[in-house]
Amino acid sequence: MADRLVVLHRGILPPDPARIERLADTVYATEEELPLLLPGADIVLCWHSITPVVAAAWPEDPALAPDWVHVAAAGVDSLLFPALVGNPDVVLTNSRGVYDQAIAEYVLGLIIALAKDFPGTWEHQRRREWRPRDSERIGGRTALVWGTGPIGRAVARMLRAVGMRVTGAGRTARADDPDFGLVHAGARVRTALAEADYVVLATPLTPDTRGMVDASVLAAMKSGARLVNVGRGALVDEEALIRHLADGRLAGAALDVFAQEPLPAASPLWDLPGVIVSPHTAGEVTGWRADLADLFLDNLIRRNEGRPLRNVVDKNKGYVRERIRVTHPGDTSLRGAF
């Protein structure tokens, strides 16, 4: 008998859904319909991933809970609720690998846009104003990429390719990382913050990383530095960030994610100088939905054939664990250094 699959969506379905329907007894659920359709399902595909409704719809009886939940995203923070995390029979997988290169390109584009003040150029063009001015180089500038998972690694490789000096911040210090060279941990992250022209956030959102970029971290950043966030909005204390931007201590920020999405129209971030706001689209490139569907389909075939699934999330950590050779273990006391 085929597994019963519930696909959670917001009006957009996976491309070529017949491929999935041939392998599972598939039903489609909006957020409003999910509480009726989730109990008794074997598999849940969260095609729309950032939503609290899965937790709200999760059955109280563990016998009615699905044994596999797949997320069409890299982040799984909205699914780390106690009933799912605490049930050892439920496997959680994500779409790690789909977004890496796209997000890395987006980060490079944001850094170039900040350094060259493209928003100012476009505003002058709109006003038909001819204003020659100097811009900044990015070659030789220092970037600290906070997050050493696949997305952070792709960002590091991209920035190093254009001549930036890149280091990483993670849970464990090491001196010969293949992508970052030097990875900082613990108190050394604060030192690295003071030296970085750009700080790029690419960590998952977990209980340890929520709010990790608080007022003290922002104060530790180099005066005139810029923050780029392609991780999750809740990594950052937005009120503290607004203060540091408004008083000019930070030169700018490029933000693709926010604590509340869509970003409220009343947020000062829309109008602060040196700030680029984008609507959580860093990984959305031509063909990205097909790539997400292909990954899920591969895992569905693996399940039907009794083979191990790809991208199994450590539910207690909140991400897919990697094995990285560590040559110089360091202090890991800094909260949220991933």
| Residues belonging to the active site | 232, 261, 280
Rounded (10°) angle between helices 118-126 and 100-115: 60
Cβ atoms of 254 and 114 closer than 8 Å: yes
In angstroms, the CA 248 to CA 102 distance is: 31
Helices (H), the chain: 18-21, 34-37, 53-57, 82-85, 100-115, 118-126, 150-161, 188-195, 215-220, 238-246, 288-305
CA-closest candidate to residue 276, choices 249, 257, 262:
257
Rounded (10°) angle between helices 100-115 and 150-161: 50
Radius of gyration of the chain (CA): 21
Cβ atoms of 38 and 56 closer than 8 Å: no
In angstroms, the CA 62 to CA 141 distance is: 53
Q: What are the strands of the beta sheet with 275-277, ordered from one edge?
A: 174-177, 181-184, 165-169, 142-146, 198-201, 226-229, 252-255, 275-277
SS3 at position 270: helix
The token pair at 163 is 């001549």
In angstroms, the CA 237 to CA 79 distance is: 22
CB atoms closer than 10 angstroms to residue 32: 9
Cβ atoms of 23 and 304 closer than 8 Å: yes
Cβ atoms of 90 and 84 closer than 8 Å: yes
